[in-house]
Amino acid sequence: MADDTTQHPLKIYWIMWAALFVLSTFSYATDFLDRGNLRHFLILLFMFAKAGGIVWIFMHMGWERLALKIAILGPPVAIVVLIALMSLEGNYVEDSRLEHYGESTMEVASPEHH
Amino acid sequence: MPWGKAMMWIFLLSDTFIFSCFLVGYMMVRISTTDPWPNPSEVFALEAFGYPVPLLLIAIMTFILITSSGTMALAVNMGYRRNRKLTFWLMVATAVLGASFVGMQAFEWSKLISEGVRPWGNPFGAAQFGSSFFMITGFHGMHVSAGVIYLLVIAFRVKRGFYENRPGGYEIVEITGLYWHFVDLVWVFIFAFFYLW
């Protein structure tokens, strides 16, 4: 039952912990890059690396049986379809707004720092 | 697989869909608006040593949450080693870190509100920025607050020896840990998509 999770040496947790710190520092560092493909690629890369580590090591998914892995990690894949549909729809809505209302005339303020 | 753990995983799966819907909704409104999107690294900058540092508080909050995930992972391990005292203190440390995260989130909210950011509009750009910000971080903050309460309840039961002679024993610490790591996991996605993108 719980025996498979009982005997983990602590070492793997320390490594994972340190890795999360390093990856978060890298994530934060992407904010100093200009917005573009490289920045977005690195944001996603560090995000998935951190998420994978948390689920696999900290949440013990790596030691669970295959049935649970499939039952829990399978369904979220469907979200990819939603993302694809909504980004198509979003671009369509933006285009039709531009066509009917024209470019935005909003005046924006720059944030002050406290 | 103990039933409690299976139920927690199923709950977390449903929570995954809720947060995904929020983030996809945020993506949709950000793509579809024709108004300029406020630059998060400027909106969330704080002044330190005379310079505005981008996302300073958000970075600190990220590291606090990671630290709390580490203490939680150790608490689970100590639970299985039946070290009640250390399990209790590690869970309390996790709860304290979680509470400080919520405190910083409250500070961030009041700062933005004082600058005029509202769910229906803000001075820095597209109105949808405020609605997505308050909804997504609010829902996440609510999860963290609930997690702090959950952690403290279980921690004090561990201290009392409540799980000493129960079937399943200290599995409950692992189940609590699953919830806590999930809250950290959601923050990874919010940090990437809302604050950095």
Place of tokens 């608006």: B33
Q: How many beta carbons lie within 10 A of that of residue A77, not counting itself?
A: 8
pLDDT tens per residue across all 114 residues of chain A: 444 455 677 888 899 999 999 999 999 998 888 888 999 999 999 999 999 999 999 999 988 899 999 999 999 999 999 999 999 999 999 999 999 998 888 888 887 755
pTM score, two decimals? 0.92
Reading the block at residue B124, the tokens are: 């820095």
| CA–CA separation, B143 and A49 (whole Å) | 23
Of the candidates B187, B197, B15, B188, the residue with the CA atom closest to the CA atom of residue B102: B187
What angle in degrees, to the nearest 10, is found between the helix axes of B171-190 and B84-114?
Answer: 30
Q: Read off the DSSP letter of residue B36.
A: P
Partner residue facing A82 (CB), from B24, B38, B177: B24
Neighboring chain B residues of A59 at a CB cutoff of 8 Å: 177-178, 181-182, 185
- pLDDT value of position B97: 96
**For B106-120, how does the pLDDT look when each residue is reduced to its tens digit (9 = 90+)?**
999 999 999 989 999
Put simply, the chain B residues between 92 and 131 with a CB less than 8 A from any chain A CB are 111, 115, 123-126
- pLDDT value of position A114: 54
Give every CB contact of residue B192 below 8 A, 6+ residues apart in sequence. Answer: A27, A43, A44, A46, A47
| CA–CA separation, B72 and B92 (whole Å) | 9
CA-to-CA dists, residue B51 to A113, B45, B47, B56, B110, angstroms: 9, 10, 5, 11, 21
| CA–CA separation, B191 and B173 (whole Å) | 27
Those residues of chain B that have pLDDT short of 50 are: none
Instruction: With beta carbons less than 8 A apart as the criterion, state whether B83 and B139 touch.
Output: no
Quick check: A76 and B17 CB within 8 A?
yes
Partner residue facing B196 (CB), from A6, A31, A98: A31
